[in-house]
Amino acid sequence: LSDLYPNSLGIEHSIASLVNIQRSSDGTVKLLLKLNNRATRNTHSANDDGNDVYEQPEQHYFIESVIIPWYDRSNPTSTLCVSTQVGCAQGCTFCATGKMGLLKRLSSDEILIQLYYAKKICRISNDSSAWLPDIDNIVFMGMGDSGDNAEAVIEACSIMADRQCFSIPQNKITISTVGPNPGVFQTLGKADAVLAWSVHAVEDTLRKKLVPTTKYKMVDLKEGLIKALMGRSRRMRALMLEVTLIEDVNDGIKEAEEMVDFCLEMKERVKGMKLVVNLIPFNDIGHRSYRRSPDSHVAEFQRVLVENNLKTYVRTTRGDDENAACGQLATKKLKGKQY
């Protein structure tokens, strides 16, 4: 990287600068990075119509990453949530990033610099009262959708897992996507990582409400995912299904039973599949009608799945007091003199 970015101030200033650190009451740390667009590789890409998209060098873009420490474990470690884009094209109605629209796809270097800074901060913090355990788990669940930036995500995963680089085990890297199309699962399946599908609902009309940009029926997306999993080694046939639960929208018994049928069919067809359902109570983003699913609704939803032998966890909310929780990441684009 030093040869690619011959900046006298080093890699940090060449790819991105760390401009702000926020720490929440539970120890979660949110990083704000300013991208140096002029020095970044891959400064143009193709949009969904196949047309070239060029980022203008005078624009200043910012991304957020989140370090989530787990102090309660016998061997404390941290999870890093990385971003793949500035903004997001998917427009999920429960997500702050979706409100931004897609401003820029990150290069693999711009993804990796997030891990570089996070590991540096963890290392430096060892000598302070604000100690952060080292990172041993990466989730591509920050700003943007991995399926809309697959090439850079796959390259970044390869370098993260490389023993000569960051040496993160493949089963400790998770790539999340809403599944913009059935083929994206096979593309992302080439990565050295576990797959995660941000599904949120399996009934087409309801899912269209939550993910308004979806163009495919769930049965078609499911077929694409099954094909991708069947093409992976048994060791990598792991899948996380993510469900953001919103009160009286998708947190009822009916939706839970639909999820059961959906999951059991996949488990039956994909031999050796390791499936985990991750329930995520909605985090406030200022939506006029969405409310966090009550604990009682979440528990009932989980009960329905567990009673059908589906491994199900409720994601612990972390960093919400600093807008660092799932669905709350968003930045602003500044131009020229405004910066």
Catalytic residues: 64, 326
Asked if residue 180 lies in contact with residue 148, where contact means CB atoms within 8 angstroms, the answer is yes
First to last CA, the chain: 27
Q: How far apart are the C-alpha atoms of 237 and 11, rounded to whole Å?
A: 36
Q: How far apart are the C-alpha atoms of 70 and 79, rounded to whole Å?
A: 8
Comparing C-alpha atoms, which of 51, 59, 101 is closest to residue 212? 101
CA distance to 27, 135, 197, 316, per residue, from 173 (Å): 22, 11, 14, 19
Structure tokens at 11: 């890699």
Q: How far apart are the C-alpha atoms of 67 and 143, rounded to whole Å?
A: 14
Tell me the CB-side half-sphere exposure of residue 323, using CA atoms within 13 A. 13
Asked if residue 207 lies in contact with residue 199, where contact means CB atoms within 8 angstroms, the answer is yes
Asked if residue 321 lies in contact with residue 66, where contact means CB atoms within 8 angstroms, the answer is no
Q: How far apart are the C-alpha atoms of 307 and 289, rounded to whole Å?
A: 31
What kind and span of H or E run contains 22?
A: strand 16-23
Phi and psi, residue 224, nearest 5°: -60, -40
Comparing C-alpha atoms, which of 45, 39, 35 is closest to residue 114? 35
